[in-house]
Structure formats: C-alpha cells, structure tokens
C-alpha cells in the first residue's frame, strides 16, 4: 500500500559482488536464483513454484514468511491461480498471460507490475508477494502485508477524563485511517516518503490542502527529503533531524499519540508527520502556547477550560522558578519573605549543614532519580517504589537534618507542577532549565534569576519551528489568537483558524467545529 519512490541510496542494499543481474530475465529459474542470491538464501524466503493453464506454464509466487497475511496469499492468490486457471487455455503471449492473471485471477486490491529485482526485493521485504511468470521479464507485485500488530488502545501518555479513547498504534496504515476518520475531507493529503537507507520505513506527511500555508509544506518536504540515516526507529529521529535548532532546550516539534489532537492541528493549518513503527505523530509548526493546550480544554466548557489552562501556566512557572526563587530568597533576599514565614524558614533550616542551593540541587536530582527509576521498574512496583521512595527519602532526610522540610515541599511542588503540563517533552525541558535557574539564583540571587530569565526570553523569541516563531502568538502578536491562548474563549467565538499559521483558508470554520 505504501509504494512510493525510494529517495536515497537506490539499490545500495545489494552486496558488492555483481554476480547476479539487477534486471529481470525471461527465465524463471534465473530470476529466482538472482533473488536468492541477492537476499543470500534466507530461510524465511518462501518460493512456491506452480504451473498454470492447460499448457502447464511455469510460474512462482515469492514472499517472506511472517510478513504476509497467509489468508490472503493462500486464499486469494494461490487458490485462484490453481483452481481458476486449471486446464484453461491461456493466451499465447506471456505478456497477455501476466495481464490476465493481474486482471482476472488475483483477488488482491493492490497489484502492479514490476520491472526490476529491486522492485521485487523492496516489495517482499515489506510484506508483499511477487508473482513470477516464466518467459517474461516482468513480475506482479501484490500487497499482502499482514503481521501481528497492537490493536488500538487508549493512549498511555496522554489520557484524558473526557475525550476519545483511541490512540495511534505502530502501524502507519491504521494511523492514517484514524486521521481520515476525523477529517473526511477530500483535501486531506498524505505524501509518502521512505526513510532509512536500510530500514526503508514509511513516513507520511499529512496536511489539509487549502488550509495549510504552502510554504510550511514546502519547507517540511525539503527537510524530510534531506533526511539521511540508516533507520528511524521512532519519530524522535525525524524530529531531531528536521528541527530548527538542536541547541535549544525546547522541543520545537511536538508529538502526540492522540488522533484528535493531530486532526485538530491539521485543521489549524499545521502539518503532521507519521512514521511507521511508532504511535507518536509529530505536529509542526508548534509554538510554546501549544504546549499548554490539551484537547480536554475544548471538550470541557470554556470556564473549566480557561481555568485549567491558567492553572497550567501557573504550573509551568512553579516548575521552572520555584526552587530558584526559594534559593534566591533564602540565601540573598530574606527581606522579601513575609516576616513570620522568614522566621519559620530560618527555624527549619537551623542545623541544616548545606547552603540552600546544595540542598535544592541534591533534592532535585533525587526527584529526577526517583522519576527515572519509576519509569524503569515494572508498572506494579514502580508506583509503590516511587511514592514510598519519595516519602521515605524525603522524611528520613528531614529527620536526619540534612534537608529542611520546606525544601521537601518546594521540590515536591515543583515535581507535581511539572507533571501537570500536558506535554511531556516541554515539561522535561522546564525541569532541565530549572537547574540553570537554581545555579543562577545561588550565584546572584533574584538578580541572577532575572538575568537568566532575560537570556531565556531572548532565546525563545529567536527560536522558530519550521519558520514560525516559537512565541507566537505572544511575541509577534496576533491579538485574535489570544482568544485561545491563556484563556480558552467559548467555541462560538473561536470560529476562525489561528492567524499565526497563516492558513490559506482563514474563513470562518463551521460553528461548533472542533478546533485546537
């Protein structure tokens, strides 16, 4: 189903010894020998030879065991060949026989003719079946792909209380179907690429023609075509290859497991990148504001959506600044803490042997360790270890007088706040930057925090995602887009697509249409 041009390194998979022909010959035996030689007699290569027609014309079907759907190959190809062509008088020319087989015999939807050995090998290595006929240098290539796949499940990393429960799977075909089911528009475009010199993974660039700005598609295509690697096991490879700045701590292309999120992005004038073998779909261009948006904001009524979104902005602030502010205030500017709080912080810190920055960084690292360990551990004990570890370590450290109780509160609050962000990758960057702020605070106090904040601001207003400034619609201001930024205006007011993607078709959407 995913036949397309192979971009790079055409034929580079062949071994150096040129002891077989690249082109198909008219002799079936030579063809089969060539194929066997090319793949070096793999044990899972199945060559089924048979004769058809009254004249006992020799032919063969070739596939790789495990990649094909046995039901299709046995029932729709082999059986038809054997039963319908038995004792039938076939046309005299071999080309006509091949034509008849293609048109009348094989009950598979995708069949086409191939001319080269590469066509055959590429096809059978991705689950196709090739039909060789003796006496002609052409083959039929049939799509019989069929292997065990995961069924559609609820996305684990992005579960919602309210909203569709289906998430993307590893199979790109299923993923495309999922998107098609959301956008039944004739302008929905899927452009297919093959990435990976060796893996030849299917990659699909999806966009809605007429909504997306052509420059975005053009730029994405240019970048996708520049990809040159052996394998792309996950869409993270694609993301890192095509992102604007690899030095930035911020992710410039967001990923999601949710088809509703992708379809909403497509309708906003963005493009999506699907990669075979991963449930994570990239949406580009992405902006900082997008990282605070969750589909649920739109599924709940706008009051709720707005409040939750504001809460997330608060959470982002806490995740990034709270430990740094604590350090700055405690070590440099205790005058800015309300008196009684200052006294109680001083009381709890009495006897703590470390300066607050050491305390904060070590607790922060402990927190990250616990998180990392929690991911590695099996799910059943992972949670327990996480909670118990946190409690025990936190409590014991306080009891032992190594850290102050307020520090534990600060660290815990920071961790909770960072996990409240809907985008995991941006939460990670925030947590990372947090350490920078801690060091700045420990060196220069609040002044240092402000300085680093300015530096960070300079960076993010410079940052771009596929040419779209990262801080839109904040920094290049698109006032109309603010309706769906910190607040989430009622859906009846959100009738226009965001301006910052410069959609071709900015005319009002249908009222009530879902939009992200």
Partner 1 sequence: MYRCHLILLSFVIFLVLSGCWDRVEIEQRGFVVGVAIDLAEEQSGGASDGDQQIELTLQLANPRGLGSTTTGGGQQKAFLNISGTGSSIFEINRDMAKQTSRTPFYEHLKVIIVSKELAQKPGLFSKTMDTFIRDPEMRRSVKVLVAEGKSKNFLNMESEQEKLPSLKIESIIKNTRKNASIIEPVRIGKVHQLLLNRNSYVLPTISLVNNKLKDEGVAVLHGKSNVLVGTLNKTETKGLNFIKGETSSGVFHVNVDGDSVIYEIVNAKSKIQCEAKSKDDLKFTVSIEMEGNIAEDYGSKDDLIDERYLKKVESKIEQEIKNIAQQTIDKVQKELKVDVLGFDRRLRRTDYDLWEQVRKNWDRGDNYFAKSDVNVEANAIVRITGVADQTKSGIIE
Which positions lie near partner 1, rule CB under 8 A? 329-332, 334-337, 339, 342-350, 352, 355-356, 398, 405, 442-445, 448
Minimum distance from CB of 352 to partner 1 (Å)?
A: 7
Nearest distance, CB of residue 341 and partner 1, angstroms: 10
CA angle 119/123/127 to nearest 5° reads 170
Residue with tokens 């990758």: 425
Nearer to partner 1, 206 or 324 (CB): 324
Of the pair 407, 421, the CB lying nearest partner 1 is at 407
Nearer to partner 1, 40 or 350 (CB): 350
Structure tokens at 18: 């040129």
Closest approach of partner 1 to the CB of residue 243, in Å: 24
Give the nearest distance from C-beta 396 to partner 1 in angstroms.
14
479, burial (CB in 10 Å: exposed 0-12, middle 13-18, buried 19+): exposed
| Strand, coil or helix: 208 | strand
- Shortest Cβ 325–partner 1 spacing (Å): 13
Q: How far is the CB of 319 from partner 1 (least distance, A)?
A: 23
H or E segment at 81?
Answer: helix 79-84
| Cβ distance to partner 1 smaller for residue 420 or 443 | 443
Dihedral over Cα of 177, 182, 186, 192: its sign: negative
Comparison of 356 and 472: residue with beta carbon closer to partner 1: 356
Whichever of 6 and 342 has its CB closer to partner 1, that residue is: 342
CB of 126 to partner 1, least distance (A): 47
Evaluate the omega torsion of the peptide bond into residue 513 and state whether it is cis, within 30 degrees of 0. no
Give the Cα-Cα-Cα angle 277, 278, 284 (nearest 5 degrees). 125
CA distances from 287 to 202, 304, 306 (A): 27, 23, 18
Least distance in angstroms from the C-beta of 306 to partner 1: 36
Distances, alpha carbon 262 to alpha carbons 61, 109, 112, 236, 464, in Å = 40, 28, 32, 16, 20
Closest to partner 1 by CB, 147 vs 343, is: 343
Which region holds residue 104: left if phi is over 0, alpha if psi is between -120 and 50, else beta?
A: alpha
Nearest to 34 by CA among 143, 128, 118: 118
Is 39 or 337 the residue whose CB approaches partner 1 more closely? 337
CB closer to partner 1 out of 78 and 342 = 342
Burial 5-35 (b: 16+ CB within 10 A, else e): ebbbeeeeeeeeeeebbeebeeebeebbebb
Contact 498, 485 (CB under 8 A): no
Rounded to 5 degrees, what are φ and ψ at 203?
-130, 135
170 CB-near residues (< 8 Å, 6+ apart): 149, 150, 276, 277, 278, 279
What minimum distance in Å lies between the beta carbon of 329 and partner 1? 8
Min dist. Cβ of residue 362 to partner 1 (A): 15
Judged by beta carbon, residue 63 or residue 437, the one nearer partner 1 is: 437
The CA distance from 158 to 313, in Å, is 18
Using alpha carbons, select from 26, 95, 63 the residue that is nearest to residue 103: 95
Q: Are 463 and 250 in contact (CB under 8 A)?
A: yes
Task: Name the percent of the chain in helix, strand, coil, to the closest 5.
Answer: 45, 15, 40
CB 369 within 8 A of CB 377: no
- Beta carbon nearer to partner 1, 32 or 443: 443
**Least distance between partner 1 and beta carbon 442 (Å):** 7
Structure tokens at 258: 């949710």
- Nearest distance, CB of residue 453 and partner 1, angstroms: 16
* 179/329 with CB nearer partner 1: 329
């Amino acid at each position: 189903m995913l036949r397309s041009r192979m971009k790079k390194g055409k034929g580079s998979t062949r071994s150096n010894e040129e002891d077989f022909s690249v082109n198909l010959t008219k002799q079936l035996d030579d063809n089969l020998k060539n194929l066997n030689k090319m793949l070096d007699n793999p044990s899972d290569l199945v060559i089924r030879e048979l004769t058809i027609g009254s004249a006992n014309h020799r032919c063969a079907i070739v596939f790789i065991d495990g990649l094909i759907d046995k039901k299709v190959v046995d029932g729709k190809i082999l059986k038809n060949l054997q039963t319908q062509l038995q004792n039938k008088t076939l046309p005299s020319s071999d080309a006509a026989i091949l034509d008849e087989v293609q048109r009348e015999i094989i009950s598979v939807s995708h069949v086409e003719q191939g001319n080269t050995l590469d066509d055959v090998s590429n096809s059978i290595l991705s689950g196709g079946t090739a039909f060789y006929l003796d006496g002609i240098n052409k083959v039929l290539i049939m799509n019989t792909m069929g292997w065990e796949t995961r069924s559609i499940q609820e996305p684990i990393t992005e579960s919602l209380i309210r909203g569709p429960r289906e998430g993307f799977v590893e199979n790109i075909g299923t993923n495309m179907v999922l998107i098609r089911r959301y956008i039944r528009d004739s302008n929905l475009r899927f452009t297919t690429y093959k990435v990976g010199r060796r893996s030849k993974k299917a990659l699909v660039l999806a966009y809605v023609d007429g909504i997306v700005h052509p420059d975005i598609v053009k730029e994405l295509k240019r970048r996708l075509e520049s990809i040159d690697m052996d394998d792309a096991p996950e869409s993270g490879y694609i993301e890192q290859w095509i992102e604007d700045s690899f030095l930035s701590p911020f992710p410039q292309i967001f990923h999601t497991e949710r088809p509703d999120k992708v379809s909403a992005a497509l309708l906003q004038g963005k493009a999506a990148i699907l990669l075979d073998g991963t449930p994570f779909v990239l949406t580009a261009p992405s902006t900082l504001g997008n990282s605070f948006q969750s589909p649920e904001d739109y599924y709940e009524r706008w009051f709720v959506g707005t409040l939750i979104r504001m809460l997330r902005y608060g959470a982002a602030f806490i995740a990034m600044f709270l430990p740094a502010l604590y350090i700055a205030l405690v070590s440099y500017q205790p005058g800015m803490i309300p008196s009684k709080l200052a006294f109680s912080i001083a009381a709890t810190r009495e006897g703590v042997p470390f300066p607050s920055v050491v305390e904060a960084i070590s607790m922060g690292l402990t927190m990250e360790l616990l998180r990392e360990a929690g991911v590695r551990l099996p799910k059943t004990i992972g949670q327990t270890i996480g909670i118990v570890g946190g409690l025990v370590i936190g409590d014991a450290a306080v009891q032992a007088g190594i850290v102050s109780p307020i520090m534990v509160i600060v660290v815990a609050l920071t961790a909770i706040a960072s996990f409240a962000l809907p985008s995991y990758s941006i939460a990670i960057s925030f947590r990372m930057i947090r350490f920078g702020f801690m060091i700045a605070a420990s060196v220069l106090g609040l002044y240092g925090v402000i300085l680093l904040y300015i530096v960070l601001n300079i960076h993010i207003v410079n940052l771009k995602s596929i040419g779209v400034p990262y801080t839109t619609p904040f920094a290049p201001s698109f006032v109309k887009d603010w309706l769906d930024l910190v607040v989430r205006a009622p859906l009846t007011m959100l009738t226009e697509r965001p301006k910052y993607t410069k959609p071709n078709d900015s005319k009002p959407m249908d009222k009530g249409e879902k939009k992200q």
